[in-house]
Each structure stands twice: as structure tokens, then as C-alpha cells.
């Protein structure tokens, strides 16, 4: 179970990394809105999974 939690935390960190990646001045500048959306979705999705697993653990299921 610990590996699963660490994997979810790594997904959240990857989402933050996508938000902070500097694309200005490169040919990838046009992809910046896409990386922002993917980063936000990763953060929200992995956070919801962690919260759900925490609630389920508290309830004993």
C-alpha cells in the first residue's frame, strides 16, 4: 500500500512540475496551455484518489 501512496504523490508532483515548466522562448510555447491543463488535471485527479483512499482507511474498508 505504501508504494501506491508514493505513486500518487509522485503524480501530484509531476502535475506541479508541468505547471512550472518554462516554455517561453522555445518552439513549445504553443503547447503551454495544454501542459497547464494536463498538470491541473493530474494534481486534482491524484489528490482526489488520495483523499478517497484516506477516507476509506478511516472508515475501515
Supply the pLDDT for residue 46: 96
State pLDDT tens for residues 8-39.
999 999 999 999 999 888 898 999 999 999 99
At 13, list the grid cell.
508532483
> In 3D, which of 3, 1, 38 has the Cα closest to residue 18?
38
pTM value is 0.84
Crossing angle of the two packed helices 32-59 and 2-20, in degrees rounded to 10: 150
Question: How many whole angstroms separate alpha carbon 37 and alpha carbon 57?
Answer: 30
Supply the pLDDT for residue 1: 63
Q: What is the mean pLDDT of residues 34-59?
A: 94
Task: Return phi, psi of residue 21, to 5°.
Answer: -65, 130
Supply the pLDDT for residue 16: 95
Amino acid at each position: 500500500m505504501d508504494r501506491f501512496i508514493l505513486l500518487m504523490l509522485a503524480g501530484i508532483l509531476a502535475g506541479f512540475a508541468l505547471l512550472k515548466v518554462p516554455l517561453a522562448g522555445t518552439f513549445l510555447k504553443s503547447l503551454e496551455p495544454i501542459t497547464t491543463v494536463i498538470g491541473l488535471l493530474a494534481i486534482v485527479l491524484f489528490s482526489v484518489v488520495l483523499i478517497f483512499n484516506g477516507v476509506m482507511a478511516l472508515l475501515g474498508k
